[in-house]
Structure 1
């Protein structure tokens, strides 16, 4: 049981900075301003379900994608590290405020002109805000690492990812349901500060990913 808790905790430490629910909260508040309470709850629930589904597909189908396109694990680690580091740099030095991404602007235009409620759960809340390219690359790389050998029992390896993805989705759901209260407590400046801290962690993780990938390539040629 301790090994399962350790594996799930490790997964949360890796995924939460990438998923960054607080940034999604700011985006959600920007897009869901005219929605009633019931519609907000429905969008929150759907976004959480979509995030869980995306992560599960990335975990179980990731290796098949790698095999199909002939991508090596070191290559994935280097590419994933660059993506994660790039996302981290954007969070450290934001060019646009939260909610002003291309996807968010497109959805805002739809909301402004739509007569019926527009679904924002999949795009942009679930993807790319929460389960974006960096999150997916990290999950696929982690799946490859786990299957190539790791010091956890088989039952832990099979159970921990599902629990980790479930917890990330649950944290997102709670954050979106409590979005108004979170903004009142933390404030816009607080969310920006936390996002920058998460960005620094992502830069460190991305650089380490690249280092690990390069070291594997060097070992291959020696």
Structure 2
């Protein structure tokens, strides 16, 4: 996550990818991931398959997917870093110290959640994990839709500004 924060904008510039394009693509990825969690494929139980393995993969989805550094997270980090780095609202020292601290705390929280996934599964049961998975899926769909909407609005605003040569409000 830290590498993405510091180097992501350079990679985007190298491939000539705009922030609105990134937001739309990242939003699409989040929507797809959320829909897979919201409407999971039915699991076919086979007498040969180990049920413990199925339970472990079932527990992984709601606890790990939204917070690990997948494509949606990477898109959000690059987008946020580009927005924050070009903002004058934050002092330079905040821009240097806050991201590593945020990534550290996120990693610690994620580690604690993953280490306690067994007790969480025992506490909530299969139906509780399914409910958490669907709730997290719904939240991901909402986040992805908003992310894509923001990218679309930026594209429309850029088209309007370029066609009518209006100064952007600050």
Measured against the shorter chain, the TM-score band is 0.7 to 0.9
**2:6 — aligned with what?**
60
Measured at CA, do residues 207 and 145 of structure 1 come closer, stay the same or move farther in structure 2, by a change above 3 Å?
same
Query: Map of 1:1-222 to 2, 5 A cutoff?
Result: 55-95=1-41, 130-149=68-87, 151-222=89-160
Q: Secondary structure at the match of 2:17?
A: coil
> 1:159-188, CA deviations, whole angstroms, 9 ceiling, x for partnerless residues?
222122111211122123223222211222
**1:101 — aligned with what?**
none
How far off its partner does 1:127 sit? 8.9
Gap runs ≥5 in structure 2: 44-52, 54-63, 161-170
Gap runs ≥5 in structure 1: 1-54, 98-107, 109-125
Measured at CA, do residues 151 and 93 of structure 1 come closer, stay the same or move farther in structure 2, by a change above 3 Å?
farther
Instruction: Return the index of the structure with the highest Cα Rg.
Output: 2
Calculate the aligned-residue CA RMSD, in Å.
2.4
Measured at CA, do residues 90 and 170 of structure 1 come closer, stay the same or move farther in structure 2, by a change above 3 Å?
same
The answer to whether the 8 Å contact 2:23/2:79 transfers is: yes
Count of residue correspondences: 142
The answer to whether the 8 Å contact 1:58/1:136 transfers is: yes
The answer to whether the 8 Å contact 1:80/1:141 transfers is: no
How does the TM-score come out when normalised to structure 2? 0.73
> 1:123-172, CA deviations, whole angstroms, 9 ceiling, x for partnerless residues?
xxx89982211111111111111122263333222222212211121112
How does the TM-score come out when normalised to structure 1? 0.57
Measured at CA, do residues 93 and 164 of structure 1 come closer, stay the same or move farther in structure 2, by a change above 3 Å?
same
Structure 1 distance, partners of 2:150, 2:88, is 15
Structure 2 distance, partners of 1:128, 1:200, is 11
Structure 2 distance, partners of 1:209, 1:179, is 29
How far off its partner does 1:79 sit? 0.8
Measured at CA, do residues 148 and 159 of structure 1 come closer, stay the same or move farther in structure 2, by a change above 3 Å?
same
Measured at CA, do residues 128 and 208 of structure 1 come closer, stay the same or move farther in structure 2, by a change above 3 Å?
closer
How far off its partner does 1:91 sit? 1.1
Structure 2 distance, partners of 1:150, 1:132, is 29
